[in-house]
Amino acid sequence: MREQRAGNDTLLLHGVDVRGHTAILRFEGITEAEALRLAAARGFRVASVELEAAARPAASGRAAFPLLLFTQELLALLEAGLHLNEALASLQAKESHAGVAGVMAGMLQSLLEGHSFSDVLAQWPQHFPDIFVATVRAAERTGDLAPALSRYIAYQLQFDQLKKKLVTAAIYPTMLLAVGSFVTLFLLGYVVPRFAVVYESAGRDMPWLSGLLLGFGRMVAGHWQLALAMAVGGAVLLASTLLRRQGRTWLLERVLRLPWLASRVRQFRLARFYRALSLLLASGIALPRALGMVGGLLGPQSQEQLAQCLLAVQQGRSLSSALAAAGLVGPVTDSLIQVGERSGQLADMLERAARFSDDQFARWVDWASRLLEPVLMIVIGVVIGGIVVLMYLPIFDLAGSL
């Protein structure tokens, strides 16, 4: 069954790209149906599909291609005076990871065959996003590849910096939850059953909540194999979900639907949208085409709004009015875009709008992380303290009756 092919196989899609040139798209580790869907999304008309199983074993590695590092090193070599072919050959020679070196070897081979750099990048859509390819393609028309790469590096660094801030803010709450869960399980599975034995031998009645807690502790201790299996199974299920891309996407979509997160996530996505649009416009790409390329950075509802905005721009409306009508700008962003339209510096104003949104989001992350940490400590303290109080409550009751 061709539809089920994936793994280390490489699919080569022969056809015609959006400019009417014959080209080849290369996809690895996905089914043929998924490859055809991705090709259609890029405006690529497929003529034939060819299986290149293990033809590029080095390029089929599972390690992600280090796009930012590759772009930074390529820019440094180009600014040093090397030609593109020489720079790629140098990067391939120094690369220690076989998969990354295989991708670079394929790129260099395509360049030597006479393909343009942007067409070569388009052959590896799993490694080079559409924004990067479009930036390079626009730079080829003007001959300023190095400045275009520099703009993309700045774009990616801004996003990575914000992502690191999110990860850093999540580390301490995660550790609190892990430690609190371990202490709670230890109390319920080890300490509570031993208190239950002492109280049973005393033969006295105990408070209802204490009896419920002690009964649960005895159940955990009596079926500890099942409890351990359930805990391990839950951990394995969570780990497998997080390790798989589809699982992460499914879990992330559920989390991002929380009411108090949805508006902030939309703000974060809009900032990425403004910055990507600024990058494409600064590279010389026409506004309608740029709007069509950055839709994937928005959520499903915002993508529908962007489609309305794109239609309005194609009908001759200004970007500021189209975005405002679609609900994709706030008051400050709207003012900045209007200034950019009047001054002819739309790309710069969109970058300013992205920085404004990023600053707002960063302040919210700092506030939320500072609030979440004490809240988690209070919740964990109440849970652990409640267990301890319920364990000792019969002793307090006995002492009070003496």
In this predicted structure, the answer to whether residue 332 has a pLDDT above a threshold of 80 is yes
- % residues pLDDT > 90 (the chain): 1
In this predicted structure, the answer to whether residue 31 has a pLDDT above a threshold of 50 is yes
The dihedral region occupied by 81, where left means phi > 0, alpha psi between -120 and 50, and beta the remainder, is: left
Q: Can you give the CATH number for the domain in which 341 is found? A: 1.20.81.30
Amino acid, res. 276: A
Q: Are residues 332 and 231 in the same domain?
A: yes
In this predicted structure, the answer to whether residue 61 has a pLDDT above a threshold of 60 is no
pLDDT in the model for residue 3: 40
Q: Are residues 180 and 289 in the same domain?
A: yes
In this predicted structure, the answer to whether residue 231 has a pLDDT above a threshold of 80 is no
Query: In sequence order, which ranges of 187-222 are alpha helices (DSSP H)?
Result: 192-202, 208-222
Of these ranges, 37-46, 145-154, 162-171, the one predicted with the greatest mean pLDDT is: 145-154
Q: Pick from 121, 156, 191: which residue ends a domain?
A: 156
Report which secondary-structure segment, H or E, holds 35: helix 32-41
pLDDT in the model for residue 401: 58
As a whole number of Å, the end-to-end CA separation of the chain is: 80
pLDDT in the model for residue 252: 67
Q: Are residues 112 and 170 in the same domain?
A: no
- What tokens appear for 35 in the block? 């490859």
What value does the mean pLDDT take over residues 313-321? 89
The total number of residues written for the chain in this structure? 402
Q: Pick from 156, 179, 203: which residue ends a domain?
A: 156
The residues facing 23 across adjacent strands are 15
Could you tell me if residue 246 is inside a domain?
yes
The answer to which of 41-50, 104-113, 140-149, 169-178 has the lowest mean pLDDT is: 41-50
Of 100, 41, 14, 98, nearest to 65 (Cα)?
100
In this predicted structure, the answer to whether residue 96 has a pLDDT above a threshold of 50 is yes
Which one has a higher pLDDT value, 3 or 384?
384
Q: Which residue's entry shows tokens 């009751």?
A: 397
In this predicted structure, the answer to whether residue 395 has a pLDDT above a threshold of 70 is yes
Distance CA 207, CA 393 (A): 8
Of 346, 290, 299, 295, nearest to 318 (Cα)?
346
Of 7, 10, 25, nearest to 102 (Cα)?
10
Q: Reduced to 3 DSSP states, what percent helix, strand and coil does the chain have, rounded to the nearest 5?
A: 75, 5, 20
Query: In sequence order, which ranges of 67-207 are alpha helices (DSSP H)?
Result: 67-79, 84-94, 98-112, 117-122, 130-142, 145-186, 192-202
pLDDT in the model for residue 339: 92
Could you tell me if residue 261 is inside a domain?
yes
Q: Are residues 269 and 142 in the same domain?
A: no
What is the greatest pairwise CA distance in the chain? 96
* Residue 18 pLDDT class (50, 70, 90 cuts): low
Could you tell me if residue 252 is inside a domain?
yes
Q: Are residues 226 and 337 in the same domain?
A: yes
Which one has a higher pLDDT value, 394 or 18?
394
Number of domains composing the chain: 3
In this predicted structure, the answer to whether residue 319 has a pLDDT above a threshold of 80 is yes
In this predicted structure, the answer to whether residue 399 has a pLDDT above a threshold of 70 is no
Distance CA 168, CA 365 (A): 10
Q: Are residues 115 and 229 in the same domain?
A: no
Could you tell me if residue 330 is inside a domain?
yes
Q: Are residues 86 and 108 in the same domain?
A: yes
Q: Give the global pTM.
A: 0.63
Distance CA 369, CA 171 (A): 10
Distance CA 169, CA 145 (A): 36
Could you tell me if residue 358 is inside a domain?
yes
In this predicted structure, the answer to whether residue 41 has a pLDDT above a threshold of 70 is no
What value does the mean pLDDT take over residues 50-61? 46
What are the CA-CA distances from residue 73 to residues 136, 149, 157, 181 (Å)? 15, 10, 14, 45
- Report the SS3 class of residue 330: coil
Of 263, 262, 277, nearest to 320 (Cα)?
277
In this predicted structure, the answer to whether residue 64 has a pLDDT above a threshold of 70 is yes
Range of the domain at 40: 10-52
Distance CA 16, CA 131 (A): 19
Of 213, 232, 227, 326, nearest to 270 (Cα)?
326
pLDDT in the model for residue 53: 42
Q: Are residues 349 and 246 in the same domain?
A: yes
Average pLDDT, whole number, for the chain? 79
Q: What is the pLDDT of residues 82-92, one digit of tens each?
A: 888 888 888 88
pLDDT in the model for residue 129: 85
pLDDT in the model for residue 5: 45
- What tokens appear for 36 in the block? 């055809």
**Residue 98 CB contacts under 8 Å (≥ 6 apart), including other chains:** 57, 58, 61
**Residue 381 CB contacts under 8 Å (≥ 6 apart), including other chains:** none
pLDDT in the model for residue 256: 66
* Residue 57 pLDDT class (50, 70, 90 cuts): very low
Q: Are residues 344 and 364 in the same domain?
A: yes
What value does the mean pLDDT take over residues 326-337? 88
Q: Which residue's entry shows tokens 């208190």?
A: 195
Distance CA 288, CA 385 (A): 60
In this predicted structure, the answer to whether residue 4 has a pLDDT above a threshold of 50 is no
CB atoms closer than 10 angstroms to residue 164: 10
Q: What is the pLDDT of residues 273-300, one digit of tens each?
A: 888 888 888 888 888 888 888 877 787 7
pLDDT in the model for residue 140: 81
Which DSSP string corresponds to 227-238?
HHHHHHHHHHHH
Which one has a higher pLDDT value, 142 or 237?
237
Distance CA 189, CA 196 (A): 11
* Residue 172 pLDDT class (50, 70, 90 cuts): confident
pLDDT in the model for residue 25: 73
Q: What is the pLDDT of residues 182-208, one digit of tens each?
A: 888 788 777 777 777 777 666 666 777
